[in-house]
Structure 1
Amino acid sequence: MIDRVILLVLDSVGIGALPDAEKYDDMGADTLGNIVKETGSIHLPNLQQLGLGNIESVKAINAIKNPSGTFGRAAELSVGKDTTTGHWEIAGLITKEPFRTFPDGFPSEIMEAFEKKIGTKTLGNYAASGTVIIEELGEKHMKTGYPIIYTSADSVFQIAAHEEIIPINKLYNMCEIAREMMQGDYALARIIARPFEGELGAFSRTHRRKDYSLSPPHPTILNYCEEAGYPVIGIGKIDDIFNSKGVTHSVHTENNMDGINQTLKAMDKYSSGLIFTNLVDFDMKYGHRRDALGYRLALEEADTRIPEILSKMKTNDVLIITADHGNDPTHPGTDHTREYVPIIITGNHISAGLNLGTRCSFADIASTISELLNTKDTGNGIGFSELILKS
């Protein structure tokens, strides 16, 4: 009955702290709710119509009497609160052991080996905000040509470089070297290229960011869709997060609006399969930078594009909107936050106004997609297609 699923991840749009948030120092985190408290209001009429305000724990947006979508929320079973664990769990893979982190910087044996392989010294090697560290070390980087290395509370090894100092292909090559090194005992979730441009005092990161992730250790719903003969279109950083595993077509994007544009183009081009889109600006540009107003405005801008997606949906399409973790811009620090994520579902064959309550895992989404598209199941999560499909 269902030919195509459009899975839209609003990166970091959490809706309230999980019961175990205390373990992550995230008590009181509520990305959506605290944005509204901080800025005074938010206008998301299209997401509200689909049922966002009807989800348990969403208090900042009014519930409506007859939402057009099915709605609920999901808890995270995986250990962690980062991009990789969140997306992998959405795709049906539970991460039971946390990825390694290096909050005090990477050990000397790693850095010495890395510098030897790339043929140059490095700068930084500490945990920092990406925008802050390029302001701190950008001038020295411009003078020496040394790449800037930094990390965060996430399992990441990030390399920042001005595109006029270290060409983008050379930066990518450095990341590939780091990816090869950071395995086994030093396995990290992601190596990230962080190119930037501009002059001292006015540096800005470019859209040529690239993530080099570990390969998922087990098949995900992406693999099973591909096995079933469906196209799997990764839009944004999806291809990077899954290290291309299970992605048959990939489109990198410049920003949220480009992500939606590319989703609409994919809907025109592919009549079946899985279109998996990540809108990263919420997280990268506003959550980590603790910019509540910018986050609110970005959400409102994305909301205006929802009708375009709905208008392109065919009779046998299903749209699922969710998130991968939180990133409360009012919370101390610059890290992700451990939160529930929304689930909103709509389509011609989907019941309207059904409350899915609280799902025990993001993996319920993957299991539901396997039921809708009649593919193998990952073995994680509990599908809810029988609940949401019209009889």
Structure 2
Amino acid sequence: MRSLLIVLDSVGAGAAPDARRYGDAGADTLGHIIARTGLRLPVLDALGLARILGRECTVPQASWGRMRPRAAGKDSTTGHWEIAGIVAHRPFAVFDAFPPALLAPIEAEAGTRFLGNIPASGTEIIERLGPEHLRTGLPILYTSADPVLQIAAHEAVIPPDRLYALCGIARRHADAWAIGRVIARPFEGEPGAFRRTPRRHDFAMLPPRSVLDALVEAGHAVLGIGKTADLFAGRGFTASTPTASNGAGMQAIAETWATTRDGLVFANLVDFDTEYGHRRDVAGYAGALAAFDAWLGGFLPVVAKDDLLILTADHGNDPTHRGTDHTREEVPLLLHHAGRSDALGTRDGFGDVAATLADFHGVAWPGGRSCLA
């Protein structure tokens, strides 16, 4: 009994009913990218994406629908937790700058001071403060529109293991402030040519029990690809393969799937969000979607009839929307299993994925509605 859950990070399918409360009225990640670029996604459309987006097509090759978020917030942790059956009723905290009451104990325990403490993009902040970091050896701390605290350091100045230890200290103090993730951001290179390395690591708050725990308790493997295990602080996973890009993620999915005989492979493809959504790069986002569509066409033949493949997203990040924040959107839902082609409608919450996985693997789970029922 093999299942594969792929989260296309930030690939939203239109504004959620409460989008106005988040400043996101009119957001539509997929719709606006397709309208601006003429993007064609023949494999996803054939599975049912065309129907999800309101276009006519032949009978879909999978079951199709969309999901409406119930949890408060529009970040990766909130979205992935809800997909796994955890509904966060309070959003994680977002800061423009972190207060001394949070930073002082982190600095005292770590024995260092920080540069920065401002909102910025990851590439911008290392270009701006990287030279000072090289001179002083002080780590760079920054945030963004997400509920995250990020610490960047040149690998030749603060090796990754030391950076991870520093982030572990920050994680312990950040819990009381409801910060969803502390993220280690190693980089390398010289001033004017800094580049982030693949050794990013996310330190999330420890989540409540999820369907992933139920699967593991029943003896099934739960194998993370990309940042999924990090988003759950490792809870509910039996193994994890971190990846640094969509390309590496797709390769890891194929390799892991080929050796998996039972359990769940739970993957996140992050470039849509980090490389293109936040940077408001419409053409780049379209190119990444086209690359995934082409890869998926080659991968589908190794998905057996009795396997379960679920494709969805965790939130939106409309690159045509103002600002650089995520957008509050519904997300697409595609289920490839047993030749079924069912109209799944609009599901009330991402937790129907958790219910579907529980149903497929024969484990008890109290929330959501299975799409296989």
C-alpha distance in 2 between matches for 1:251 and 1:6: 14
What pairs up with 1:320-359 in 2 under 5 angstroms?
Answer: 320-347=310-337, 349-352=338-341, 354-359=342-347
* Superposed displacement of residue 350, structure 1: 4.0
Cα RMSD (Å): 1.2
Which of 73, 76, 79 is the equivalent residue of 1:86? 79
Q: Is the 8 A contact 2:61 2:339 kept in 1?
A: no
Q: Which amino acid aligns with 2:63?
A: T
- Looking at structure 1, the residues matched to 109 and 92 of structure 2 have their Cα atoms a distance apart, in angstroms, of 24
Moved over 3 A (4+): none
Q: CA deviation at 1:37?
A: 2.9
TM-score (norm 1): 0.93
Is residue 221 from structure 1 mapped to residue 208 from structure 2 by the alignment? no
Equivalent in 29, 33, 46 of residue 49 of structure 1: 46
Partners of 1:203 and 1:213 lie apart in 2 by 26
Kindly tell me: are residues 264 and 298 of structure 1, through their superposed partners in 2, closer, same or farther at Cα, counting changes over 3 Å?
same
CA deviations over 1:29-85 (Å, ceiling 9, x no partner): 1111112233x2112111011010101xx25xx431221111000000000000001
Query: In structure 2, what is the equivalent of residue 373 of structure 1?
Result: 361
1:17 matched residue in structure 2: 15
Q: Distance in 2 between matches of 1:127 and 1:376?
A: 43
Residues of 2 paired with 1:204 and 1:318: CA distance? 38
How does the TM-score come out when normalised to structure 2? 0.97
Cross-structure match for 1:276: 266
> Matches of 2:141 and 2:368 in 1, distance apart?
37
Give the structure 1 partner of residue 107 of structure 2: 115
* Alpha-carbon distance between aligned partners in 2 of 1:308 and 1:243, rounded to the nearest angstrom: 32
What amino acid maps onto 1:90 in structure 2?
I
Which segments of 5 or more consecutive residues in structure 1 lack a partner in the other structure?
387-391
Deviations 1:339-365 (A, max 9, x none): 010001112x1412x211100100011
Q: 1:367 to 1:350 in 2, by over 3 A?
A: farther
**Separation in structure 1 between the aligned mates of residue 322 and residue 154 of structure 2, nearest angstrom:** 29
- Distance between the aligned counterparts of 1:93 and 1:333, measured in 2? 28
Aligned mates of 1:141, 1:290 — CA distance in 2: 28
Are 1:7 and 2:5 an aligned pair? Answer: yes
Amino acid at match of 2:241: V
Q: Determine if contact 1:51/1:63 at 8 Å carries over to the other structure.
A: no
SS of equivalent residue, structure 1 residue 51: helix
Does the CA contact (< 8 Å) of 2:305 and 2:339 recur in 1? Answer: no
Aligned residue pair count = 373
What letter matches 1:173 in structure 2?
A
Could you list the runs of 5+ residues in structure 2 that have no partner in the other structure? Answer: none
Identity over aligned pairs, percent? 48
The CA distance in 2 between the partners of 1:191 and 1:156, in whole Å, is 6
Q: How do residues 304-319 of structure 1 correspond to structure 2 at under 5 angstroms? A: 304-319=294-309
Classify the secondary structure of the residue corresponding to 1:54: helix
Aligned residue type for 1:369? L
Note if contact 1:94-1:380 (Cα within 8 Å) is conserved in structure 2: no
